Each structure stands twice: as structure tokens, then as C-alpha cells.
């Protein structure tokens, strides 16, 4: 990269060419594949055998919990972009059994769950390849109802799941909030 910039500079390409080369390099390096969409789902949509990915429930008051129900016949490999110790897997669960186990798992927190959200993850062809089940908490208590933000990306036959705490969520420990007058 530096060699290309030096050659452009010597050839009189100037700063606009260097900026263009740098922008193209950065944009291609940040490509995460095709973004997969989620849509509302019903429990009756689950008609296959599923592999469960159970994320969270590390301590009693943990609110960052999620269950992914992946159709075992889906032609994709699934990778969670989190630490391997952050989740557990369960194999060969029928639709109703998988949903019951996922629902019990996301209710492990001592925080009261207000509602749950159940969504299907759809591939580019429009086929449902997985489901996600997340707890929703009281927005007056937590600042908003959905604690986790999930994004799904498809690259070369692999679905990568990005899970993170919602950045708009109010911090209970006052981490970035002011503690009084500035001095």
C-alpha cells in the first residue's frame, strides 16, 4: 500500500489519487459480506430439526441473553463473533423442544422479562435459515426494551453473527454519565 502511494506521489498523482487509493483499500477491507434480514416469526414456522446456540446467562442478573435456533438442513456454516466461552450449543432439537429450551434459557436472568421477540433470519433467496429469540425488558427500567443488537452477515457460505450490547442502553453503573459539576 505504501509503495503504491509513493509511486503515485513521484508520478505527480497528488493527494486526490492517494486519497482515492486509500479509500478503496479501506472500503474493501471493511466488507463483511451480504447482510441478512430478520423478520417477525411465529412458533408454527419451526418445522425442522435445530441446533441451538445459547448466548449469555453468565450470572444471575445477566440481561444479555439470546437463543439462536439454526435449521440443521441449512446449507450454511454459522459462526458467532464472540468468545467461544460466551455460548453453548445443543444439537438435534425438534422445533417445539428447541423453542421451549430456548425460552427457558433466555429467562435465566433475575431481571423481569417484559416480552420476548421471535424473528426469523432469511437468506438472500428468501429462505428461512434460522430463528432468534431475545428477551425484552421494561423500557422504563432499562432505558429501552432490547438489550442486544444482532447483525447477520453471509460470506462464502458462512453466516457470521455479530452480537453486542445496544450502545444506546442506559448504563446502570454510571460509566459515561457525569457525577456532578465539572471542575
- Using pLDDT thresholds of 50, 70 and 90, give the confidence band for residue 79: very high
- Using pLDDT thresholds of 50, 70 and 90, give the confidence band for residue 25: very low
In the predicted structure, residue 28 carries a pLDDT above the cut 50: no
Count of beta carbons in the 10 Å neighbourhood of residue 153: 17
What are the tens digits of pLDDT across the range 51-66?
Answer: 999 999 999 999 999 9
In the predicted structure, residue 104 carries a pLDDT above the cut 90: yes
**Which H or E run includes 140?**
helix 139-142
User: What is the model's pLDDT at position 158?
Assistant: 96
DSSP state of 175: T
Mean pLDDT of 98-102: 96
What does each C-alpha distance from 136 to 59, 60, 97, 116, 142 come to in angstroms? 18, 16, 21, 5, 10
- Using pLDDT thresholds of 50, 70 and 90, give the confidence band for residue 144: confident
Instruction: Tell me how far apart the alpha carbons of residues 58 and 179 are, in angstroms, rounded to a whole number.
Output: 29
User: What is the model's pLDDT at position 142?
Assistant: 79
- Using pLDDT thresholds of 50, 70 and 90, give the confidence band for residue 143: confident
Instruction: Tell me how far apart the alpha carbons of residues 118 and 40 are, in angstroms, rounded to a whole number.
Output: 6
What does each C-alpha distance from 179 to 142, 167, 174 come to in angstroms? 19, 20, 8
Amino acid at each position: 500500500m505504501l509503495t503504491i502511494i509513493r509511486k503515485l506521489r513521484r508520478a505527480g498523482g497528488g493527494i486526490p489519487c492517494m486519497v482515492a487509493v486509500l479509500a478503496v483499500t479501506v472500503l474493501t477491507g471493511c466488507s463483511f459480506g451480504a447482510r441478512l434480514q430478520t423478520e417477525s416469526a411465529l412458533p408454527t414456522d419451526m418445522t425442522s430439526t435445530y441446533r441451538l446456540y445459547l448466548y449469555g446467562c453468565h450470572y444471575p442478573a445477566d440481561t444479555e441473553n439470546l437463543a439462536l435456533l439454526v435449521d440443521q438442513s441449512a446449507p450454511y456454516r454459522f459462526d458467532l463473533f464472540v468468545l467461544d466461552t460466551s455460548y453453548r450449543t445443543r444439537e438435534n432439537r425438534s422445533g417445539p423442544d428447541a423453542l421451549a429450551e430456548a425460552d427457558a434459557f433466555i429467562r435465566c436472568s433475575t431481571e423481569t422479562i417484559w416480552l420476548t421477540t421471535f424473528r426469523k433470519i432469511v437468506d438472500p433467496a428468501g429462505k428461512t435459515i434460522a430463528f432468534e429469540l431475545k428477551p425484552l425488558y421494561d423500557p422504563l427500567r432499562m432505558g429501552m426494551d432490547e438489550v442486544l443488537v444482532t447483525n447477520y452477515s453471509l460470506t462464502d457460505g458462512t453466516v457470521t453473527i455479530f452480537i453486542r450490547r445496544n450502545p444506546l442502553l442506559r448504563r446502570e453503573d454510571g460509566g459515561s454519565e457525569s457525577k456532578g459539576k465539572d471542575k
